[in-house]
Amino acid sequence: MSKEKIVLSVGDPDVEAPDYVYEAAYEKMKEGGEWTHYGFQTDKPKVFRDAVVDYYKRFGGVTYPDSAVIPCAGSSAALYVALRTILDPGDEILMFEPTYRGHFSILNGLGVKQNLVQLERENAYHPDLDEIAEKITPKTKAVLVCNPNNPTGTVFTEKELRAIGDLAVDHDLGIYSDEIYLHFVYDDNKFVSTASLSEEYAKRTINIMSFSKTFSMTGWRLGYIIVPEMYAAKAKGIAGMAAPRPPTFLYAAGAAALNGDFKYVDERVKAYDERRKYFCPAVDAIDGLTCDLFEGSFYAWFDAKSTGMGSQEFCDKLAKEENLMFSPGHTFGPGQDGMVRVPLCQPMPLLKEGIARLERFMKNL
Ligand SMILES: Cc1ncc(COP(=O)(O)O)c(C=O)c1O
Protein backbone atom coordinates (compact mmCIF):
# COMPACT_ATOMS: atom_id res chain seq x y z
CA MET A 1 0.00 0.00 0.00
CA SER A 2 1.62 3.26 -1.08
CA LYS A 3 -0.91 5.68 0.42
CA GLU A 4 0.46 7.97 3.09
CA LYS A 5 -0.73 7.19 6.59
CA ILE A 6 -3.52 9.42 7.95
CA VAL A 7 -3.78 9.34 11.73
CA LEU A 8 -7.22 10.26 12.99
CA SER A 9 -7.13 8.31 16.20
CA VAL A 10 -5.59 10.68 18.74
CA GLY A 11 -7.17 13.77 20.28
CA ASP A 12 -4.03 15.82 19.66
CA PRO A 13 -4.60 19.19 17.94
CA ASP A 14 -2.81 19.82 14.64
CA VAL A 15 -1.51 23.28 15.58
CA GLU A 16 0.91 24.75 18.11
CA ALA A 17 0.11 26.69 21.29
CA PRO A 18 -0.21 30.49 20.96
CA ASP A 19 3.08 32.41 20.53
CA TYR A 20 2.61 34.33 23.78
CA VAL A 21 2.55 31.04 25.66
CA TYR A 22 5.85 29.96 24.10
CA GLU A 23 7.35 33.37 24.85
CA ALA A 24 6.37 33.19 28.51
CA ALA A 25 7.91 29.72 28.81
CA TYR A 26 11.18 30.73 27.03
CA GLU A 27 11.49 33.90 29.04
CA LYS A 28 11.12 32.19 32.40
CA MET A 29 13.32 29.29 31.42
CA LYS A 30 16.06 31.75 30.42
CA GLU A 31 15.56 33.81 33.57
CA GLY A 32 16.20 30.67 35.60
CA GLY A 33 16.53 30.99 39.36
CA GLU A 34 13.27 30.15 41.02
CA TRP A 35 11.64 29.50 37.63
CA THR A 36 13.87 26.50 36.96
CA HIS A 37 14.05 25.02 40.46
CA TYR A 38 11.56 23.40 42.79
CA GLY A 39 8.50 25.62 42.70
CA PHE A 40 6.57 24.51 45.73
CA GLN A 41 8.17 26.84 48.27
CA THR A 42 8.07 29.91 46.02
CA ASP A 43 5.27 32.20 44.84
CA LYS A 44 5.44 30.75 41.30
CA PRO A 45 2.52 28.34 41.62
CA LYS A 46 0.47 31.27 42.96
CA VAL A 47 0.98 33.20 39.70
CA PHE A 48 -0.68 30.24 38.01
CA ARG A 49 -3.36 29.69 40.64
CA ASP A 50 -4.42 33.35 40.50
CA ALA A 51 -4.77 33.13 36.71
CA VAL A 52 -6.94 30.01 37.11
CA VAL A 53 -9.19 31.79 39.62
CA ASP A 54 -9.82 34.67 37.16
CA TYR A 55 -10.29 32.28 34.26
CA TYR A 56 -12.77 30.07 36.02
CA LYS A 57 -14.73 33.06 37.28
CA ARG A 58 -15.00 34.21 33.67
CA PHE A 59 -15.80 30.91 31.94
CA GLY A 60 -17.20 28.74 34.73
CA GLY A 61 -19.02 31.41 36.71
CA VAL A 62 -17.62 30.44 40.12
CA THR A 63 -15.15 32.31 42.32
CA TYR A 64 -12.71 30.09 44.18
CA PRO A 65 -9.90 30.98 46.55
CA ASP A 66 -6.56 30.39 44.84
CA SER A 67 -5.77 27.71 47.43
CA ALA A 68 -8.43 25.51 45.78
CA VAL A 69 -6.29 25.14 42.63
CA ILE A 70 -3.88 22.20 42.49
CA PRO A 71 -1.61 22.26 39.42
CA CYS A 72 -0.64 18.90 37.92
CA ALA A 73 1.35 17.63 34.95
CA GLY A 74 -1.68 17.32 32.67
CA SER A 75 -5.23 16.47 33.56
CA SER A 76 -4.43 12.75 33.54
CA ALA A 77 -2.36 13.32 36.69
CA ALA A 78 -5.06 15.70 37.93
CA LEU A 79 -7.70 13.03 37.40
CA TYR A 80 -5.67 10.52 39.35
CA VAL A 81 -5.38 12.92 42.30
CA ALA A 82 -9.07 13.77 42.12
CA LEU A 83 -10.29 10.17 41.94
CA ARG A 84 -7.87 8.95 44.61
CA THR A 85 -8.98 11.74 46.95
CA ILE A 86 -12.55 10.47 47.36
CA LEU A 87 -12.50 6.86 46.23
CA ASP A 88 -11.09 3.73 47.86
CA PRO A 89 -10.95 0.18 46.55
CA GLY A 90 -14.42 -1.39 46.72
CA ASP A 91 -16.20 1.95 46.31
CA GLU A 92 -18.51 2.59 43.38
CA ILE A 93 -18.88 5.55 41.06
CA LEU A 94 -21.77 6.62 38.86
CA MET A 95 -20.71 7.51 35.31
CA PHE A 96 -22.01 7.93 31.80
CA GLU A 97 -21.13 5.56 28.96
CA PRO A 98 -19.44 6.03 26.56
CA THR A 99 -16.75 8.19 28.08
CA TYR A 100 -13.01 8.93 27.93
CA ARG A 101 -11.06 5.72 28.32
CA GLY A 102 -8.65 7.31 30.84
CA HIS A 103 -11.51 7.50 33.34
CA PHE A 104 -11.99 3.74 33.11
CA SER A 105 -8.30 2.91 33.36
CA ILE A 106 -7.65 5.02 36.46
CA LEU A 107 -10.80 3.71 38.16
CA ASN A 108 -9.94 0.10 37.30
CA GLY A 109 -6.45 0.67 38.71
CA LEU A 110 -7.99 1.99 41.93
CA GLY A 111 -10.38 -0.98 42.23
CA VAL A 112 -13.49 1.23 41.92
CA LYS A 113 -16.59 -0.27 40.30
CA GLN A 114 -18.27 1.83 37.62
CA ASN A 115 -22.07 1.97 37.49
CA LEU A 116 -22.83 3.16 33.98
CA VAL A 117 -25.76 5.19 32.70
CA GLN A 118 -26.03 4.90 28.93
CA LEU A 119 -25.89 7.87 26.59
CA GLU A 120 -27.98 6.50 23.72
CA ARG A 121 -28.14 7.76 20.16
CA GLU A 122 -31.98 7.64 20.35
CA ASN A 123 -31.78 10.26 23.08
CA ALA A 124 -29.18 12.37 21.21
CA TYR A 125 -26.53 10.94 23.59
CA HIS A 126 -28.15 12.59 26.60
CA PRO A 127 -28.96 10.63 29.77
CA ASP A 128 -32.33 9.31 30.83
CA LEU A 129 -32.70 11.16 34.12
CA ASP A 130 -34.79 8.39 35.73
CA GLU A 131 -32.03 5.89 35.09
CA ILE A 132 -29.46 7.93 37.03
CA ALA A 133 -31.07 7.44 40.44
CA GLU A 134 -31.44 3.69 39.83
CA LYS A 135 -27.67 3.34 39.43
CA ILE A 136 -26.83 4.68 42.90
CA THR A 137 -26.01 1.99 45.47
CA PRO A 138 -24.98 2.25 49.14
CA LYS A 139 -21.36 1.88 47.96
CA THR A 140 -21.55 4.80 45.52
CA LYS A 141 -19.24 7.60 46.65
CA ALA A 142 -19.15 9.90 43.64
CA VAL A 143 -20.50 10.75 40.21
CA LEU A 144 -18.36 11.70 37.23
CA VAL A 145 -19.57 13.95 34.43
CA CYS A 146 -17.43 14.65 31.40
CA ASN A 147 -18.92 17.86 30.08
CA PRO A 148 -18.64 18.23 27.09
CA ASN A 149 -18.19 14.49 26.75
CA ASN A 150 -15.47 12.60 24.94
CA PRO A 151 -16.44 10.76 22.66
CA THR A 152 -20.14 11.66 22.15
CA GLY A 153 -19.74 15.43 22.42
CA THR A 154 -22.72 15.64 24.78
CA VAL A 155 -23.03 19.09 26.33
CA PHE A 156 -24.98 18.41 29.52
CA THR A 157 -27.93 20.74 30.01
CA GLU A 158 -28.58 22.72 33.16
CA LYS A 159 -31.57 20.46 33.89
CA GLU A 160 -29.39 17.35 33.64
CA LEU A 161 -26.65 18.86 35.79
CA ARG A 162 -29.20 19.86 38.42
CA ALA A 163 -30.65 16.33 38.46
CA ILE A 164 -27.15 14.90 38.93
CA GLY A 165 -26.22 17.55 41.50
CA ASP A 166 -29.38 16.99 43.55
CA LEU A 167 -28.76 13.26 43.66
CA ALA A 168 -25.18 13.90 44.73
CA VAL A 169 -26.39 16.11 47.58
CA ASP A 170 -29.11 13.63 48.64
CA HIS A 171 -26.71 10.68 48.65
CA ASP A 172 -23.68 12.61 49.88
CA LEU A 173 -21.62 11.94 46.75
CA GLY A 174 -18.60 13.81 45.45
CA ILE A 175 -19.03 15.27 41.96
CA TYR A 176 -16.26 15.08 39.37
CA SER A 177 -16.65 17.52 36.55
CA ASP A 178 -14.15 16.89 33.74
CA GLU A 179 -14.46 20.15 31.84
CA ILE A 180 -11.39 20.03 29.64
CA TYR A 181 -13.47 20.66 26.46
CA LEU A 182 -15.53 23.50 27.92
CA HIS A 183 -14.67 25.95 25.13
CA PHE A 184 -15.60 23.54 22.36
CA VAL A 185 -19.38 23.91 22.12
CA TYR A 186 -21.31 24.59 18.91
CA ASP A 187 -24.64 25.87 17.63
CA ASP A 188 -27.04 26.73 20.46
CA ASN A 189 -25.37 24.50 23.01
CA LYS A 190 -24.06 26.23 26.07
CA PHE A 191 -21.49 24.99 28.55
CA VAL A 192 -22.74 25.18 32.14
CA SER A 193 -20.42 24.39 35.00
CA THR A 194 -22.01 22.16 37.65
CA ALA A 195 -20.38 24.12 40.45
CA SER A 196 -21.96 27.37 39.22
CA LEU A 197 -25.49 26.06 39.81
CA SER A 198 -25.50 25.92 43.59
CA GLU A 199 -23.28 26.36 46.64
CA GLU A 200 -24.25 22.85 47.66
CA TYR A 201 -22.89 21.45 44.40
CA ALA A 202 -19.76 23.63 44.48
CA LYS A 203 -18.95 22.36 47.98
CA ARG A 204 -18.61 18.79 46.66
CA THR A 205 -17.42 19.34 43.07
CA ILE A 206 -13.86 18.75 41.88
CA ASN A 207 -13.24 20.32 38.46
CA ILE A 208 -10.72 18.65 36.21
CA MET A 209 -9.08 21.01 33.73
CA SER A 210 -6.35 20.90 31.10
CA PHE A 211 -4.38 23.05 28.66
CA SER A 212 -3.98 20.13 26.25
CA LYS A 213 -6.97 20.73 24.01
CA THR A 214 -7.91 24.39 24.62
CA PHE A 215 -4.41 25.68 23.83
CA SER A 216 -3.14 22.68 21.81
CA MET A 217 -0.58 21.90 24.53
CA THR A 218 -0.81 18.10 24.82
CA GLY A 219 2.96 17.65 25.11
CA TRP A 220 3.48 20.43 27.65
CA ARG A 221 1.70 18.39 30.32
CA LEU A 222 -0.20 21.09 32.12
CA GLY A 223 -3.51 20.69 33.91
CA TYR A 224 -5.08 21.20 37.31
CA ILE A 225 -7.95 20.43 39.57
CA ILE A 226 -10.09 22.87 41.51
CA VAL A 227 -10.87 21.23 44.82
CA PRO A 228 -13.42 22.39 47.40
CA GLU A 229 -12.46 22.85 51.03
CA MET A 230 -13.70 19.47 52.27
CA TYR A 231 -11.35 17.53 49.97
CA ALA A 232 -8.45 19.99 49.81
CA ALA A 233 -6.07 18.62 52.44
CA LYS A 234 -6.28 15.06 51.17
CA ALA A 235 -5.95 16.10 47.52
CA LYS A 236 -2.88 18.22 48.28
CA GLY A 237 -1.25 15.33 50.10
CA ILE A 238 -1.80 12.99 47.14
CA ALA A 239 -0.71 15.59 44.58
CA GLY A 240 2.44 16.36 46.55
CA MET A 241 3.60 12.77 46.81
CA ALA A 242 1.97 10.63 44.16
CA ALA A 243 1.35 12.74 41.06
CA PRO A 244 3.75 14.72 38.91
CA ARG A 245 3.71 18.51 39.23
CA PRO A 246 4.31 20.79 36.24
CA PRO A 247 7.79 22.24 35.56
CA THR A 248 8.06 25.55 37.44
CA PHE A 249 8.52 27.77 34.34
CA LEU A 250 5.27 26.38 32.91
CA TYR A 251 3.34 28.15 35.62
CA ALA A 252 4.14 31.37 33.76
CA ALA A 253 3.19 29.82 30.41
CA GLY A 254 -0.13 28.60 31.80
CA ALA A 255 -0.85 32.01 33.32
CA ALA A 256 -0.05 33.68 29.97
CA ALA A 257 -2.52 31.35 28.24
CA LEU A 258 -5.31 32.03 30.73
CA ASN A 259 -4.66 35.78 30.89
CA GLY A 260 -4.64 36.10 27.08
CA ASP A 261 -7.43 37.43 24.89
CA PHE A 262 -8.79 33.99 23.84
CA LYS A 263 -8.76 34.93 20.12
CA TYR A 264 -6.67 31.81 19.61
CA VAL A 265 -9.34 29.68 21.27
CA ASP A 266 -12.12 31.33 19.23
CA GLU A 267 -10.22 30.42 16.07
CA ARG A 268 -9.82 26.83 17.18
CA VAL A 269 -13.55 26.58 17.91
CA LYS A 270 -14.26 27.91 14.40
CA ALA A 271 -11.90 25.38 12.82
CA TYR A 272 -13.41 22.42 14.71
CA ASP A 273 -16.90 23.64 13.90
CA GLU A 274 -16.09 23.75 10.18
CA ARG A 275 -14.56 20.25 10.35
CA ARG A 276 -17.52 18.84 12.26
CA LYS A 277 -20.02 20.29 9.77
CA TYR A 278 -18.13 18.66 6.93
CA PHE A 279 -17.08 15.36 8.47
CA CYS A 280 -20.16 14.09 10.34
CA PRO A 281 -22.64 14.44 7.45
CA ALA A 282 -20.01 13.00 5.08
CA VAL A 283 -19.70 9.84 7.23
CA ASP A 284 -23.45 9.66 7.63
CA ALA A 285 -23.90 9.78 3.85
CA ILE A 286 -21.84 6.58 3.44
CA ASP A 287 -24.04 3.50 3.08
CA GLY A 288 -23.92 1.42 6.28
CA LEU A 289 -22.59 4.15 8.63
CA THR A 290 -24.49 6.58 10.84
CA CYS A 291 -22.94 9.69 12.35
CA ASP A 292 -24.70 12.62 14.00
CA LEU A 293 -23.47 16.16 14.34
CA PHE A 294 -21.98 16.43 17.83
CA GLU A 295 -22.71 19.25 20.28
CA GLY A 296 -19.32 19.75 21.88
CA SER A 297 -15.65 18.59 22.12
CA PHE A 298 -14.10 17.65 18.75
CA TYR A 299 -14.86 13.98 18.10
CA ALA A 300 -16.98 12.36 15.42
CA TRP A 301 -18.61 9.22 16.84
CA PHE A 302 -20.12 6.82 14.35
CA ASP A 303 -21.93 3.52 14.24
CA ALA A 304 -20.41 0.83 12.03
CA LYS A 305 -22.38 -2.13 13.42
CA SER A 306 -24.05 -2.81 10.06
CA THR A 307 -20.68 -4.07 8.78
CA GLY A 308 -20.91 -6.98 11.23
CA MET A 309 -17.41 -6.15 12.47
CA GLY A 310 -16.47 -5.21 16.00
CA SER A 311 -14.72 -1.85 16.55
CA GLN A 312 -11.23 -3.34 16.65
CA GLU A 313 -11.70 -5.44 13.53
CA PHE A 314 -13.16 -2.46 11.65
CA CYS A 315 -10.25 -0.18 12.62
CA ASP A 316 -7.60 -2.85 11.95
CA LYS A 317 -9.01 -3.59 8.50
CA LEU A 318 -9.31 0.12 7.68
CA ALA A 319 -5.70 0.66 8.74
CA LYS A 320 -4.52 -2.30 6.67
CA GLU A 321 -6.49 -1.51 3.52
CA GLU A 322 -6.53 2.29 3.50
CA ASN A 323 -3.70 3.34 5.86
CA LEU A 324 -6.29 5.33 7.81
CA MET A 325 -6.29 5.20 11.62
CA PHE A 326 -9.47 5.68 13.67
CA SER A 327 -10.05 4.86 17.37
CA PRO A 328 -12.06 1.70 18.09
CA GLY A 329 -15.17 2.59 20.08
CA HIS A 330 -15.12 -0.38 22.46
CA THR A 331 -12.40 1.30 24.54
CA PHE A 332 -14.91 4.01 25.50
CA GLY A 333 -17.20 1.65 27.39
CA PRO A 334 -18.12 -2.02 27.61
CA GLY A 335 -21.26 -1.58 25.46
CA GLN A 336 -19.60 0.32 22.61
CA ASP A 337 -18.41 -2.44 20.30
CA GLY A 338 -19.16 -1.54 16.70
CA MET A 339 -18.70 2.19 17.35
CA VAL A 340 -15.78 4.25 16.03
CA ARG A 341 -14.33 7.58 17.18
CA VAL A 342 -12.58 10.13 14.98
CA PRO A 343 -10.84 13.15 16.54
CA LEU A 344 -11.12 16.00 14.04
CA CYS A 345 -7.55 17.00 14.75
CA GLN A 346 -6.29 17.19 11.18
CA PRO A 347 -6.83 19.93 8.58
CA MET A 348 -9.70 19.77 6.06
CA PRO A 349 -7.72 18.32 3.10
CA LEU A 350 -6.74 15.31 5.24
CA LEU A 351 -10.28 14.91 6.53
CA LYS A 352 -11.51 14.94 2.92
CA GLU A 353 -8.94 12.32 1.94
CA GLY A 354 -10.02 10.32 5.02
CA ILE A 355 -13.64 10.38 3.84
CA ALA A 356 -12.62 9.29 0.32
CA ARG A 357 -10.75 6.33 1.79
CA LEU A 358 -13.58 5.44 4.16
CA GLU A 359 -16.08 5.50 1.27
CA ARG A 360 -13.88 3.20 -0.82
CA PHE A 361 -13.33 0.88 2.14
CA MET A 362 -17.07 0.55 2.73
CA LYS A 363 -17.77 -0.05 -0.99
CA ASN A 364 -15.18 -2.82 -1.13
CA LEU A 365 -16.51 -4.72 1.88
C1 LIG B 1 -12.16 13.96 28.89
C2 LIG B 1 -10.68 13.94 29.02
N3 LIG B 1 -10.13 14.16 30.22
C4 LIG B 1 -8.80 14.15 30.39
C5 LIG B 1 -7.94 13.91 29.34
C6 LIG B 1 -6.46 13.90 29.60
O7 LIG B 1 -5.82 14.98 28.97
P8 LIG B 1 -4.40 15.54 29.44
O9 LIG B 1 -3.78 14.55 30.36
O10 LIG B 1 -3.61 15.72 28.18
O11 LIG B 1 -4.66 16.85 30.12
C12 LIG B 1 -8.46 13.67 28.05
C13 LIG B 1 -7.59 13.40 26.90
O14 LIG B 1 -7.99 13.06 25.81
C15 LIG B 1 -9.88 13.68 27.89
O16 LIG B 1 -10.46 13.50 26.70
Strand partners, 178: 146, 208
Region 263-289: what's the mean pLDDT?
98
- Rounded CA-CA distance 103/178 in Å is 10
Q: Domain-by-domain residue ranges, the chain? A: 6-16+263-363, 31-259
Closest C-alpha to ligand 1, atom 14: 11
Q: Which atom of ligand 1 is closest in space to residue 75's alpha carbon?
A: 11
Mean pLDDT of 303-317: 98
Report how far ligand 1's centroid is from the alpha carbon of 142 (Å): 19
Task: Kindly state if the Cβ of 223 falls inside 6 Å of ligand 1.
Answer: yes
Closest by alpha carbon to 161, among 196, 185, 209?
A: 196
What would the mean pLDDT of 303-330 be, rounded to a whole number?
A: 98
- Residue 1 has what pLDDT? 58
Q: Going by C-beta distance under 8 Å and a sequence separation of 6 or more, which residues neighbour residue 177?
A: 145, 147, 193, 194, 195, 205, 206, 207, 208
pLDDT of residue 243: 85
Ligand 1 within 6 A of CB of 210 = yes
Taking residues 265-277, report their average pLDDT.
Answer: 98
Could you tell me the fold of the domain covering 6-16+263-363? Aspartate Aminotransferase, domain 1 (3.90.1150)
Give pLDDT tens digits for 145-203: 999 999 999 999 999 999 999 999 999 999 999 999 999 999 999 999 999 999 999 99
pLDDT in tens, 220-234: 999 999 999 999 999
Write the single-letter amino acid at 190. Answer: K
DSSP string, 272-330: HHHHHHHHHHHHHTSTT-EEPPPSBSSEEEEE-GGGS--HHHHHHHHHHHH-EE-EEGG
Q: What atom in ligand 1 is closest to the CA of residue 76?
A: 9
- Could you tell which of 150, 179, 224, 294 is best to mutate to test the pocket of ligand 1, judged by most ligand atoms within 8 Å of the CB? 150
**d(Cα 114, Cα 96) in Å, to the nearest integer?**
9
Using CA atoms, how far residue 202 sits from 63, 172, 175, 233, in Å, is 10, 13, 9, 17
β partners of residue 95: 116
Q: Buried (b) or exposed (e) across 83-109, using 16+ Cβ within 10 A? A: bbbbbeeebbbbbbbbbbbebbebbee
Q: CA 68, CA 309: separation in Å to the nearest integer?
A: 47
pLDDT tens-digit series, residues 248-258: 999 999 999 99
Tell me which fold the domain 31-259 belongs to. Aspartate Aminotransferase; domain 2 (3.40.640)
pLDDT in tens, 17-56: 999 999 999 999 999 999 999 998 899 999 999 999 999 9
Of 298, 275, 296, 294, give the one whose Cα is nearest residue 355: 275
Cβ-contact 303, 284 below 8 angstroms: no
Cβ of 345 closer than 6 Å to ligand 1, yes or no, is no
pLDDT for position 274: 98
Q: Tell me how far apart the alpha carbons of residues 86 and 32 are, in angstroms, rounded to a whole number.
A: 37
pLDDT classification of 2: cutoffs 50, 70, 90: low
Task: State in Å, rounded, how far the first CA of the chain is from the last one.
Answer: 17
Q: What is the overall mean pLDDT for the chain? A: 97
Over residues 335-359, mean pLDDT: 98
DSSP label of 264:
H
Length of the chain: 365
Please, how many CA atoms are within 13 Å of residue 296, restricted to the half-sphere of its CB? Answer: 25
